[in-house]
Amino acid sequence: MQITANNPKLRSWIEVTASSEFPIQNLPFGIFETASSTKRVGVRIGNLVLDLSLMASFGYFDDLNFTVAEFSQEFLNPMMRKGKMAVRALRNRIAELLATDNTSFQNNAAQHHALIPIAEVQMALPVQIGDYTDFYSSKEHATNVGVMFRDPANALLPNWLWIPVGYHGRASSIIPSGHEVIRPKGQIKPDDNADPIFAPSRQIDFELEMGFITFDGMALGQSISTAEAEDYIFGMCLFNDWSARDIQKWEYVPLGPFLGKNFASSISCWIVTLDALQPYACSTPTQDPAVLSYLQFEGNKSYDIQLEVTIEAPNCPAHVVSRSNFKYMYWNMSQQLAHHTVNGCNIRCGDLMGSGTISGPTPDSFGSMLEIAWKGTKPVRMPDGSERRFIQDHDTVIMRGYCEQNGIKIGFGEVRSQLLPAN
């Protein structure tokens, strides 16, 4: 099935500014509610949200494999369970209805209440996340961490260039953009020669990541190849993997991340389909040594997504601390999913895979404060003269991302989270 919604010549009868991240070629999915309605499935175009439950009730999707009930849910999962081709057909139909040369919905003013101004909606967590895996796939990030904490001459661990390293995270503490984060408490060692203490973390950090959401995968015991992987990926979102570096440093040996990670992870509320991102596919960085057979792939499997991290503080102008790009990632999503399932592990509809921190080759493209401030030795100066080695109470971290080509911008909106003091 062709992806007709990606046609760069499409224009909508709905007013969309040239600078908008949500043109007719995007049409991301999310969950919204209003003062007079419960949570339901919506699609973003310009500064409007299209209520798909109402559109289904009007009969626009009668010939597609969807019901009104599947759009009247508090998560996208029931809609997503129809699979890749069904969601593709749905997105194509929505683009058709919103295109300038289609009058069926355009000329029916009585139905235009299905279009709701974005200012009148409250966005919610888009997906019921069953399982969450976080990868460690930026060579630059892994190298920086290795230089800081291990032997600079052997910064990468021996397995890193052979496998997409990952760990199983906590799905219950994944929160939507706009939800505050409370500074966690735990065991820390302020001095290497002293006993640990129990205290609020003193080193709260962000990690600039992207996440991808899966459809239902293979049965337990079967695997997904790199050639098949994109058939099992619904779409992508922005992802802030909050980290308590001092808690993490003390606890992570020998089993890896635990309390330093599971207190909160923030995602953006709009899921941009992998279909919408296809025009922005690009090559993966050269992989040396050559990967094992099950990790080999053909074609462009990465995506040119421009990313930005901003810190806002009370009575202080916002300050951009990082500009990076998803295309820097050494391991691509197809390889991550192939490795995740090669042992027969099953994935399910709504699973979240974090990319790992996205760092580029220069200091202004690093994806965490740990790197940007280089373990606290190079503090960031804010516009009000204050300094940041890590994130302070009442700071707000904002991540944004978009693709752009031939005057068309496909964006993810933002993921915004404020850090509040420990309880």
pLDDT the model gives residue 150: 87
The pLDDT of residue 347 = 97
Residue among 51, 126, 129 at smallest CA distance from 415: 126
pLDDT at 204: 98
Segments in the chain below pLDDT 70: none
Say which residue the tokens 């494999």 belong to: 65
What pLDDT is stored for residue 296 in this prediction?
A: 98
Measuring CA to CA, which residue among 356, 283, 360 is closest to residue 324?
360
| Cross-strand bridge partners of residue 240 | 208, 266
Instruction: Report d(CA 95, CA 87) in Å as an integer.
Output: 12
Classify residue 125 by its DSSP letter: -
Residues 126 and 29: beta-carbon distance below 8 Å: yes
List of domains in the chain: 4-124 (2.30.30.230), 132-420 (3.90.850.10)
The pLDDT value given to residue 191: 86
Active site residue 319: no
Q: How far apart are CA 384 and CA 399, in angstroms?
A: 21
pLDDT digits (tens, 9 = 90+) for 269-310: 999 999 999 999 999 999 999 999 999 999 999 999 999 999
Half-sphere exposure for 420 (CA within 13 Å, toward CB): 8
pTM of the predicted structure, to 2 decimals: 0.97
Q: Which of 112, 113, 141, 339 is catalytic?
A: 141
Q: Please check whether residue 354 is in contact with residue 265, taking contact to mean a CB–CB distance below 8 angstroms.
A: yes
